[in-house]
Every structure is written in structure tokens, then in C-alpha cells.
Amino acid sequence: MVVDVDYVGKQQLKNLLKQFGNGVQLRPTYLVSSGKGVHLYYFLQEPVQLYRNREEVLAELKEALIRRLWNDTSSIRPDSPDIIGIYQGFRCVGSQSKLGVDFPVKAYKLSENRYTLEDIKASIPSCKVDLAPLYEKPRRKSTVTLEEAKELYPEWYEKRIVQGEPKQKSKKQGGAWVCNEALYEWWKRKITEEVKAGGRYFSIMALCSYGLKCGISEQKIRRDAYAFLDHLESLTEDEDNHFSRADVKDALRALKGDRKRLSTIASREWIEDTQRLRYQQISEITENKRLIYILQGEKKRI
């Protein structure tokens, strides 16, 4: 399980390292410098099979861990945690960070620890996430044979097998549920009203997903996506993190993937509530370069 803590300054990094050392916070297996913050990797004792019935529980547990780690001692913006989903990817170690080629993403091993999900839950005071669904076996697919289906579902058998009729497309399209176009328009309003820096790329990916789910043509989705470019670029807070046509083009690759099954868990995590209190910004580039130097100096003392 990986947690991203952003807007980490010199003092915030020292606080985190101290809390890992004295047991106030759960010590990660690896700490990765991401440029503007840190990624905390908690290795698990055993892999967790991501059945659909487990996604929501895992997302809730990860959100609780994020809120535990992202606070007024670890981030300059404690009231603006990035609640990211369980499928969120992160910059690869060794790749270039947003600070430039001189500041690659680096990993620092903090422990040999491997955890269970129960360990993670226990590290979060008053955590009410119910892990019981993780131990429920997923429903098995039907093992009814065609001969048995002929007896059990004669009307279905006649239409689908004998007559060869395709799946009805009045409610479904290509095997995915087709939603009302109002859902697509709702997401467009979300992009205008609630998306901020850090969620811009994924908001366009989500636009593709909602568009496909609502039967919107790819041409219209692309046109709408580029129409948001000026607005999304106006949200830029960091001169090293502008939002360009290339970013829109890259996000539009979601049109070619199987994104019709977009999870509501994921979509709600791609945006942040802009009504949260905003803290005064410091010079993030300078502070984050210091962060990397601190990591290099603190490595021997961890």
C-alpha cells in the first residue's frame, strides 16, 4: 500500500522521520522522494487479490491511512490531503522528478517491515473500517451448461442460442451499462468547479470514461477535453507543473482503453474540495530541493 504525502518541507520531513522512529506513525518499508513530497511504501506480508467486492474496503482503509499520515506536522497544507485510489500509479524510482533532471526520484529503505492489513488498521487510532468483506469469497461464475440452460431458461435459449440474437443494446452497449448523458454533463461541471492542480490529468481521463459510459461520441469528448485546457492551465500553482495540450492528448488515450467500468471510488478521488482552507504557500521549488538534500543526509541516521 502506497501513501503520497505532498507539500513536505524541511521541518515536515524531520517530523515524519522522528514519528517513524518513535512509533507514533507506522514505519514504511521504503520512503521515496517524489519532488514535492514523499511516497510511503508499506510492503504487505501477502499479496491481496483485488476482487471487485474488496475494492471499497481497501479504498476506505487507504483513505484512513492517508488522513493519519497527512497532517499538520507532515505537510504544509494539512487540510488538503490527496485522497487517491488503490490503483493510483506513482513515479518510478530513478525517473525524473518535477524538479528537473538533477533531482531524480530516489528511494530510501527505512525498514524490513512487511505488514498485514490488520497491522495497518491497528496503526490508525479509532479506525472503523470493517475488514470482514476482505475474507468473503467472491461469487463464482455460473457453471450451468447449455443443456441445463435450455431447460432452465427456455426463452433465453431460444433467442440467444437458437436465433442468435445479440445482447440487447437498449440498456447496454458493448457489454457496459449506458448511462444518461446528464452524468457526463455533471462531470463537466465538476471539472469547472472543483478540480484543482494535482487532479487535472485524471479529470480528463474521467471525462473520457464518463463519455464512453454515456454513449458520447469520441469526437465530442475530444472537443470538450480541449475546451477545458485554458481553465485547467489557469489552476497552475507550480511553474514546473503547467498543464498543456500534450497533457490533454495523453489523457485522451483513455478513449482507447476499457474505461467504461470506471469506479465511482476512483472518480471521487480525482478531485478535491476547493472549499477547504488553503494555507499560505512557501517557495515550493526551493523547499523541495532542500527536502532531497535532507533525505540524503538523514539516510544514515534512520
The pLDDT tens digits of the residues spanning 231-256 come to: 999 998 888 789 999 999 999 988 87
How far, in Å, CA of 147 to CA of 49, rounded?
A: 33
Residue 167 — pLDDT band, cuts 50, 70, 90?
low
What is the pTM (predicted TM-score) of this model? 0.56
* Confidence band, pLDDT 50/70/90 cuts, at residue 125: very high
Q: Quote the cell numbers at residue 124.
A: 490508525
- pLDDT for the residue numbered 295: 56
Residue pair 148/79 in contact (Cβ under 8 Å)? The answer is no
Q: Please state the rounded mean pLDDT for residues 105-126.
A: 95
Does the pLDDT value for residue 292 go beyond 80? Answer: no
pLDDT digits (tens, 9 = 90+) for 43-93: 999 999 888 888 889 999 999 999 999 999 999 888 878 888 888 888 889
CB 53 within 8 A of CB 136: yes
| Residue 127, SS3 per DSSP | coil
Q: According to the 3-state scheme, what is the secondary structure of 24-93?
A: CCCCCCEEEECCCEEEEECCECCCCCCCHHHHHHHHHHHHHHHHHHCCCCCCCCCCCCCCCCCCCCCCCC
pLDDT greater than 70 at residue 116: yes
CA distance linking residue 106 with residue 295, whole number of Å: 9
Cα Rg of the chain (Å, integer): 23
C-alpha to C-alpha distance for 69 and 16, rounded to whole angstroms:
8
pLDDT at 177: 64
d(CA 11, CA 283): 14
Measured CA to CA in angstroms, residue 202 lies from 11, 93, 120, 242 at distances of: 30, 21, 27, 15
Distance, in Å, from the CA atom of 58 to the CA atom of 78, rounded to the nearest integer, reads 23
Please give the DSSP secondary-structure letter assigned to residue 115. Answer: B
Is residue 3 helix, strand or coil? Answer: strand
Q: At what angle do helices 10-22 and 284-298 cross, to 10 degrees?
A: 40
Q: Looking at residue 150, what DSSP letter applies?
A: H
